[in-house]
Amino acid sequence: MRKRTIIAAAGLAAVAATTAGGVAVATGGEDDGPASHNFTQEQADAATKAALEATGGGQANSVETDSENGATYEVEVTKPDGTTVDVRLDGSYHVVVIEGDGGE
């Protein structure tokens, strides 16, 4: 029962952050392995800004570390047209690749 409460609370916190205009910082999950976000809030903010510029706006949903395609960060963005993409950025916040989110 306690585990369900913790999971529900974490889910509500993520929804609240997104609703309030914030960005959830991913800390790993069942498929991702152990929690690992090795960046500061300032780095997450810079990655979010770069991703939103690359997509022409929208809503950033999460920021996490990533190593695919030589990326350092991955920002999930819901674009103004409602589609969701993963924006992968290098350590200097330059776009490496923008891909459709597999969770669509």
The full set of domains in the chain, from first to last, is 2-100 (3.30.505.20)
4-57 pLDDT per residue, tens: 434 433 443 443 343 345 555 544 433 444 435 678 999 999 999 999 999 999
Handedness of CA 16, 98, 50, 80 (dihedral sign): negative
d(CA 65, CA 39): 8
Q: In the prediction, which pLDDT does 82 show?
A: 95
Q: In the prediction, which pLDDT does 39 show?
A: 86
pTM for the predicted model, two decimal places: 0.65
